[in-house]
Amino acid sequence: MGARIKDALINLIPIKKIRQKVRFEHGTFPYNSISKSVHIGMAKNLKLGKYIFIGDNGRLCCEGGLEIGSYTRIGLGVLIVTSNHNYKSDKFIPFDEYDYKQKVVIGKNCWLGARVTVCPGVRIEEGAIVATGSVVTKSVPRCAIVGGNPAKIIGFRDIDIYNKLEKEGKSATFNDVKDRKWIEVNAHKDYLKFGD
């Protein structure tokens, strides 16, 4: 059965919680790990690659369209918004009945840390990393590392290593990283220095 037909049949289920459960377990999201606590608004506008992970309590507002590339990891509590209110209205304040649809595209091999917010119209290019708690208001270049509110470029991945691994097809699936190994790091960042 084709993905569109399957999705159309799932959309006929009248109870939202049951509809989402069926979609996650039997629907159009194969090969992906999406927490059951993730809320997806207008799922018909969501396009997913393979081997995507989306952590607990995420909210994907897909009114304007959302694409997420293969092997991307999205941490817990991430908010992705794809539309905005018309606050420039001359009829009502703070906004009127119109919303602007603004598609969000997240490339393959990206990593969005916990509690990231992605604003409407943003494009996060392949291999980018978004630091925990960041608010992404502008598009992010390939292999960039961004952080803050608003998110700014704070570095880049080693592009030669990234290109080599990508060429060799070494994007990690869930089976590749399921057995976590921990490395002890005994370092602290000094933000404040006293007595200098």
Q: Which residues are catalytic?
A: 85
Tokens for 151, please give them. 């998110």
By the 8 A CB rule, do 76 and 97 touch?
no
Burial of 159 (0-12, 13-18, 19+ CB in 10 A): exposed
Residue 121's identity, in one-letter code, is G
Q: What are phi and psi of 66, to 5 degrees?
A: -140, 125
One-letter-per-residue 3-state SS of 83-102: EEECCCCCCCCCCCCCEEEC
Q: Work out the burial of residue 2: count CB atoms within 10 Å of its CB; fewer than 13 is exposed, 13-18 middle, 19 or more buried.
A: exposed
Between CA 44 and CA 58 the distance in angstroms is 17
DSSP string for residues in 135-150? EE-S-B-TTEEEEETT
